[in-house]
Amino acid sequence: MKKHNFYAGPSILPAFTIENTAKAVKEFDGTGLSLMEVSHRSKEFVAVMDEAVALFKELLNIPEGYSVIFLGGGASTQFAMIPFNLMKKKAAYLNTGAWSKKAIKEAKLFGEVDVVATSEDTTFNYIPKDYTIPEDADYFHITTNNTIYGTEIRNDIDSPVPLVADMSSDIFSRPIDISKYVLIYGGAQKNLAPAGVTFVIVKDDILGKVDRDIPTMLNYQTHIDKDSMFNTPPVVPVYAALQTLKWLKNNGGIAAMEKKNIEKAQILYDEIDRNKLFVGTIAKEDRSLMNICFVMNEEYKELEKEFYEFATAKGMVGIKGHRSVGGFRASTYNALPKESVEALVAAMQEFEKQH
């Protein structure tokens, strides 16, 4: 039976990425060695890193004056690295979910944090709109897509202070005006690569302005100066990321991905809104294209376990909602084919007929 992979992360990757990485794990680029055992300083792997950076810049149309680096430690380490490198006295944060809260917690170790708005009062089911960004903040931090709750900021906001964004789960899903941001970061395990590598896009001239001493490994400049090779990078995930970047380019780039993502999400949201058994949990104007969250309608609540087992038997994998919110979550990242969304919708319709 065909499996339809809706996991939120680690998540579905293009077959192109998996096949090419698997081949390289066996034998990498004519070296007679596995990708897992080749030196990261070999000319063959340096070429991989260089091409990955170049494709990152090409696909996202990154202007001059920005660096792309690949690090370890996940986006969670970035929660501390950002204030370590950028906060002099005060930073502003928008609280839209669990990952925002974790970022805020880390930032408070380095100075004053102004939480300009939060949607926690309604379990983060919308993106706050009416807030004022303090002009004396060193930067303003947003999380563009919230995997647990299913909200997304799909436009590049205008900020009077340097803008920082966690784009772990929606990078490469839509065109971005990079010039509006000084730093964009994310774990790769949603839309790019297997877990183990973190990408950072940073505007070079934002660095070097804090007075504090920064530990070598936590200083962005260290990794920019050494082309992400100060220490051993996560070689296999970086190689896999390069394959995904090639796949993106081969499939029409970011604008083409956005078009497909809108179509996939619309198919599923239309069914959630139509089907009497289910109800969406997010304000319609803030619905994510990447993580689609829904629950059983109140009067059919007792059918939740039954539907989960029914859908699982039909090949749906990873549709259980996050443990903190329950219900269901279908993650519809770039690599998920439209056929998988249609299969989930067909399962929802068949289950509705039975009840």
Annotated active-site residue 247? The verdict is: no
Strands (DSSP E) contained in the chain are 4-5, 66-71, 90-95, 112-118, 140-143, 145-146, 151-152, 163-166, 183-187, 198-203, 278-280, 291-296, 316-317, 328-331
Phi-psi region of 311 (alpha: psi -120 to 50; beta: other; left: phi over 0): alpha
Annotated active-site residue 136? The verdict is: no
The CA distance from 189 to 194, in Å, is 5
Catalytic pick among 88, 108, 114, 166: 166
Annotated active-site residue 29? The verdict is: no
Among 271, 28, 334, 65, which Cα is nearest to 181's? 65
- 112-118/90-95 β-pairing: parallel
8-state DSSP, 73:
S
Q: Report CA torsion sign: 23, 24, 30, 36.
A: negative
Q: Report CA torsion sign: 27, 29, 33, 36.
A: negative
Catalytic pick among 190, 203, 246, 260: 190
Catalytic pick among 23, 57, 90, 99: 99
Three-point CA angle 246, 292, 94, nearest 5°: 90
Q: Judge contact between 233 and 69, C-beta under 8 A.
A: no
- 278-280/316-317 β-pairing: unpaired
Instruction: For tokens 């289950």, name the residue.
Output: 351
Q: Residue 224, SS3?
A: helix
The CA distance from 275 to 270, in Å, is 9
Q: Which residues are catalytic?
A: 99, 166, 190
